[in-house]
Amino acid sequence: MTGPLLKVENLTKHYQLNGGFIKAGPVVRAVEDVSFSVTAGETLCIVGESGCGKSTIARLLMRIVEPTAGRVMVGGTDISSLKAHELRAWRRQMQMVFQDPYSSLNPRLTAAQIITEPVENFERLSRAQRRTLATDLLEKVGMSPEMMHRLPSEFSGGQRQRLGIARALALRPSIIVADEAVSALDVSVQAQILNLLMDLQQELGIALLFISHNLGVVKHIGHRVAVMYLGRIVELAPCEMFFANPSHPYAEALIAAAPIPTPTRVRLQVPVEGEVPSPINPPSGCAFHPRCPLAIEHCRVEVPHLVPMPDGRAVACHVRAPAADGATLPGTVPFDHSAARAE
Ligand code: SF4
């Protein structure tokens, strides 16, 4: 198949909070107008601070929650409009590796039962087939087949995450969504699991959507990176380009704050201050404008959309990536942060 395996178009998720007996509560804008694609053998990393919407994207892709708007195309099929019974066939194609290897495995099942269970949801396996499948999958993730009769409590954190990966591979998916898949593990074990994912991806040609807040991990595993801020992608770039020279002011701030050893480390001229605003009441225009050292008055008014740049990245910023009709910007009057704070 040519073209992207996974294509997401204008994906949006709003949660309506309960406001009381009669009136509707405020709306949480968890994901706003997000678009990206992932091809076979590619790793797209989604990064951002807690609450930026990256895990909601994982849940939307897996249809754990329903989108408010937008489409999710898997191999050319729009899976966001499929009925529950139609989803079964699609679920073979897309699997998930969860953050917590402790709670994502059934404590009462053996390793063999855990990793063969997804296949047995679709077809009956003989005892011999089950044993062969468990042996193959355990070997694939670097574990001894002799461990297949053990319970999850008898494994270390890294081994449990290997089991989670084996379970995700059981249905031979073309796409894996890994949501903070190594953040609960020790640093030395993280490296083993990341290398395992990279080896498996190369061998099986899987498209990997890797969600993480850890830029060091992203630098190690990613081909491209999408930076999210308050539910929107603000920069989408090849990893090498992103880490050497981020374009969006928020991306710069993220890299400047991350403990990644790199000779081309970005040093912010003006530090970013303040907290991430609430997605219930996001700032107008560019949601980053109250914290952005480059903000101009226009940023307070108009939401910037992702604009493709000549170097191959896409950036949502009125200053760093003015739209083609940027001439219509009403000047470049700097945004007055002190006046805004005083309001
Ligand atoms: Fe900063 Fe304006 Fe760019 Fe937003 S659009 S990141 S506020 S310069």
Nearest to 288 by CA among 12, 198, 296, 183: 296
How many Å separate Cα 207 from the centre of its chain? Answer: 13
Q: In one letter, which amino acid is 292?
A: C
The reported pTM is 0.88
pLDDT digits (tens, 9 = 90+) for 262-290: 555 555 555 677 778 888 888 999 999 99
What are the angstrom distances between the C-alpha of 217 and each of 40, 117, 168, 197, 223? 21, 30, 20, 12, 12
What are the angstrom distances between the C-alpha of 197 and each of 10, 54, 165, 215? 28, 20, 8, 17
> CB of 29 within 8 A of CB of 231?
yes
pLDDT digits (tens, 9 = 90+) for 91-147: 888 999 988 777 888 999 999 999 999 999 888 989 999 999 999 999 989 899 999
Mean pLDDT (whole number) for 244-268: 76
Indicate if ligand 1 lies below 6 Å from the C-beta of 253. Answer: no
Cα 12 to middle of ligand 1, angstroms = 21
Q: What is the mean pLDDT of the chain?
A: 87
The residue whose two tokens read 């914290």 is 291
Q: Counting atoms of ligand 1 from 1, which one is nearest the CA of 300?
A: 7
pLDDT digits (tens, 9 = 90+) for 47-74: 998 888 999 999 999 988 999 999 999 9
Q: Is the pLDDT of residue 315 over 90?
A: yes
Q: Counting atoms of ligand 1 from 1, which one is nearest the CA of 304?
A: 5
**Do strands 307-308 and 94-97 pair parallel, antiparallel, or not at all (unpaired)?**
unpaired
Helix 111-120 crosses helix 157-169 at what angle (to 10 degrees)?
Answer: 20
Q: What is the pLDDT of residue 43?
A: 96
> CB of 96 within 8 A of CB of 179?
yes
Indicate if ligand 1 lies below 6 Å from the C-beta of 47. Answer: no
pLDDT interval class at 328 (50, 70, 90): very low
pLDDT digits (tens, 9 = 90+) for 17-42: 876 666 777 889 999 999 999 999 99
More confident residue, 246 or 333: 246
**Most ligand 1 atoms within 8 A of CB, residue of 248, 268, 294 to mutate:** 294
Cα 45 to middle of ligand 1, angstroms = 22
> CB of 322 within 8 A of CB of 329?
yes
Q: In one letter, which amino acid is 258?
A: A
Q: Read off the tokens for 69.
A: 């708007």
Which residue(s) pair with 37 in the sheet? 7
Indicate if ligand 1 lies below 6 Å from the C-beta of 251. Answer: no
Q: Read off the tokens for 204.
A: 């099986």
Which H or E run contains 13? Answer: strand 6-18
How many C-beta atoms lie closer than 10 Å to residue 76's C-beta?
A: 10
Q: What is the pLDDT of residue 332?
A: 64
Sequence-ordered list of residues with C-beta below 8 angstroms from that of 103, at least 6 positions apart, any chain: none
